[in-house]
Amino acid sequence: MYSTNSSMQGKHILTWLDYSQSEVCQLLAQAQYIKENPYNQSLKGKNLAMIFEKSSTRTRVSFEVGMGHMGGHALYLNTKDIQVGRGETIADTARVLSGYVDAIMFRTTSNERLTELAEHATVPVINGLCDIYHPCQALADVFTILELKGQLCGIKLVYIGDGNNVAHSLMILAAMMGMEVVVSAPEGYEPDEEITAKSKALAEEYNGSVTIEPDPVQAVKDADVVYTDVWTSMGQEEEAEQRLKDFQGYQVNKELLSHAKPDASFLHCLPAHREEEVTAEIIDGPQSAVFQQAENRMHVQKAILQAIIGWR
């Protein structure tokens, strides 16, 4: 029998800073139940609008298929095809869609646009990615680590590379789960200072830790999980050449991973650029759990959808 997290009914999912450890734990438990029991009618008659300003594979397919598994319907809306791409305001779009659907997922270039949509929508808004946060990805990451290691508290998670939206949400959620989080980034690419401070405060509250360590070899020492992301994200293509230079030494390869625990797992949010941020030997090797991680996007997002718009 599926259940819903009543405390989250009708709420936006913009960043995990808005939620408690208890609520996240309920989502993780529900995601596990859903993974074992994927089909139900908990969202029968429910509709999700999915607005995409940025291209997607995992976000689009996982939300769309997940809604179908639960008896609901997902509507794909590319901003090139709807009026918001031709000058209609975000506020008007939010009000109009709220009259048609039960929730809106927005994958956007700007946290400001996401926040504006949420302010004017009368239905829950889910952050499918913005320039500051990627909460759905982080929930899948933590869920995957729980599956791999059997616990979260005390697990050492090391993120190597750009201190971007993925790193931000991962820091927040892992700190909230009592994990030992280390971020290793080149100078100038560290995570946002304010988000780092908030993550450290969460870690202190939940007996975890958050450390910024520029030396990747020191960072991965005794790591349980090593995580990386692309060095050049969508919208940063003009910086690609400079970033390739700046991130030299931050590649996750056999030598770097040798400093982690022998049973350390490798994670990547995908898509990956093999032989840049990670070698093919690692991402396609026995320590990699990237495809388990990708699949888990759907399970955690189904848990989120049940919690905010599901049967009650």
Q: What are the boundaries of each domain within the chain?
A: 6-133+297-309, 135-293
Q: For the sheet with 265-268, list strands across it.
A: 209-212, 180-184, 156-160, 225-228, 265-268
Determine which one of 168, 229, 243, 293 is catalytic: 229
C-alpha distances (whole Å) from 297 to each of 61, 79, 136, 292 are 10, 23, 7, 9
Is 299 a catalytic site residue? no
Is 229 a catalytic site residue? yes
242, two tokens: 């400079």
Is 312 a catalytic site residue? no
Determine which one of 269, 287, 301, 306 is catalytic: 269
The answer to whether residues 129 and 107 touch, using CB atoms and an 8 Å cutoff, is yes
What is the pTM assigned to this prediction?
0.96
DSSP 3-state helix, strand, coil percentages of the chain (rounded to 5)?
A: 45, 15, 40
- What's the topology of domain 6-133+297-309? Rossmann fold (3.40.50)
C-alpha distances (whole Å) from 108 to each of 40, 234, 261 are 30, 11, 37
Determine which one of 58, 60, 69, 134 is catalytic: 134
Per-residue pLDDT of the chain (312 residues; tens, 9 = 90+): 445 557 899 999 999 999 999 999 999 999 999 999 999 999 999 999 999 998 899 999 999 999 999 999 999 999 888 888 678 999 999 999 999 999 999 999 999 999 999 999 999 999 999 999 999 999 999 999 999 999 999 999 999 999 999 999 999 999 999 999 999 999 999 999 999 999 999 999 999 999 999 999 999 999 999 999 999 876 677 788 899 999 999 999 999 999 999 999 999 999 999 999 999 999 999 999 999 999 999 999 999 999 999 865
Determine which one of 58, 60, 69, 107 is catalytic: 107
- What residues contact 161, with CB distance under 8 A and at least 6 apart? 167, 184, 185, 189, 228, 229, 230, 231, 247, 250, 277
Determine which one of 12, 26, 60, 137 is catalytic: 137
Is 134 a catalytic site residue? yes
Which residues sit opposite 105 in a β-bridge?
A: 50, 126
Is 263 a catalytic site residue? no
Is 243 a catalytic site residue? no
Determine which one of 297, 299, 301, 306 is catalytic: 297
Amino acid 189: pLDDT: 97
Query: Does the structural domain 135-293 have CATH classification 3.40.50.1370?
Result: yes
Amino acid 311: pLDDT: 63
Amino acid 1: pLDDT: 41
